[in-house]
Amino acid sequence: MCGMNKKILIIVLLVILLSVVFWFIWEDLKTENDNIISSGEQTVGGVTYGIATTTFDIDISVEDNVLFKKTALEIADMPIIFSVQTTKENKEKNSKRIEEINNQIKEDYQHLDLLLEAGSLRQVVGDYEGAVRTWEFASAVFPKNYTSFQNTGFVYGFYLKDYDKSEENYLKSLENDPTNIQVYLDLVDIYTFSNQMEKIPVFLKTSLKNIGHSNQLFLKASLAKYYVDIKDNTNAIKYYEEVLAGDPSNEDIKQEIERLKTL
C-alpha cells in the first residue's frame, strides 16, 4: 500500500501542478541528453521507457521481405543529423554505436531491440526525422509491438509538433498494450498542447475500462485536473473524491478538494 500511495502522490502532484510540469517538459526538450542508450531502456526527452523485449511472431511474405530488406538498407545508410549541441567525445560515441547497430540491421533487420535503440540514439542527438523513420520501420515489421508506436507518438508530438501523427501512433500503441499508463498521460498532454482539450474527457472515461483499479486513479486524477482547468469544479471534486476513495490517506487530494469547495 505504501508503494501505491507514493505512486498516487506523484501523479497527483503532476496533475495539480500541470502548468508547471508542462514548462519543465518543454525546457527539458531543449536540453542536451548525451547518454548512449543501453540495452533495455530508452530515454526520450527526459522520460525513460522500458524497451519491449518480447519476441513477436511475425509472418513476413516473400514480397514484404524484399521490401523490408531494401528499407533496412536505406534506414542504415541514413546520415546522422546532429541538431543537439554536444561534445566531440559524445558525438563520436553516439555515432559509433549507431554505426554498429546499422551494420547489424543490414545483416538482419528483424531485431526489434536494435531498431528501437537506433531510433533512440538518433532522437538523443536531435535527429528526429531519422528517429521517426527508424521507429516507423520497426512498426511496419513488428506491428504488434507497442514501444515503437509510443516513441513515434512522443517525437511527433513533443518535437515535430505533428499532433495528428502523434495521436495516431499513441492510439496504435494503446491498441497493442492498453495497460500502458504513460501513453494515456502523454496523449492528454498532446491534446492540451494542440488545443484539443475537448477530446480529453471522452478519451479518459473510455480508457478507464482498459486498466486496473490502481492505475485508474491516475486517469481519474487527470480527469479531475481537466475539469479544474475548464472551471467545472463539480466534476473536478467528483473525480478527486474517487481518487481519494482509492487512496484515503492522500492529504494533497484532501486539500485540493477542500480548496475547490471554497470556490
Q: What is the pTM of this model?
A: 0.80
pLDDT confidence band for 41 (50 / 70 / 90): very low
1-5, 107-111, 257-261 — which is least confidently predicted?
Answer: 1-5
Looking up cell 484515503, which residue turns up? 248
pLDDT, tens digit, for every residue of 9-30?
444 444 444 433 333 333 343 3
pLDDT confidence band for 158 (50 / 70 / 90): very high
Amino acid in the structure at residue 10: I
On the 0-12 / 13-18 / 19+ scale of CB atoms within 10 A, 23 is: exposed
Q: Does the pLDDT of residue 159 top 50, yes or no?
A: yes
Q: Let me know: does 109 contact 116? Beta carbons within 8 Å.
A: no
Q: Let me know: does 80 contact 115? Beta carbons within 8 Å.
A: no
49-58, 91-100, 187-196 — which is least confidently predicted?
Answer: 49-58
* Proportion of the chain above pLDDT 90, given as a percent: 72
Q: For residue 212, give every residue at least 6 positions away whose Cβ sits within 8 Å of its Cβ, in sequence order, or none.
A: 179
CA distances from 257 to 14, 128, 204, 205 (A): 16, 41, 20, 20
Identify the residue with better confidence: 262 or 7.
262
CA distances from 68 to 55, 106, 137, 251 (A): 18, 11, 8, 54
Mind listing the domains of the chain with CATH numbers? 1-31+196-263 (no CATH), 34-178 (1.25.40.10)
What residues does 211 pair with on adjacent strands? Answer: none
Q: Does the pLDDT of residue 2 top 70, yes or no?
A: no
Q: Let me know: does 46 contact 21? Beta carbons within 8 Å.
A: no
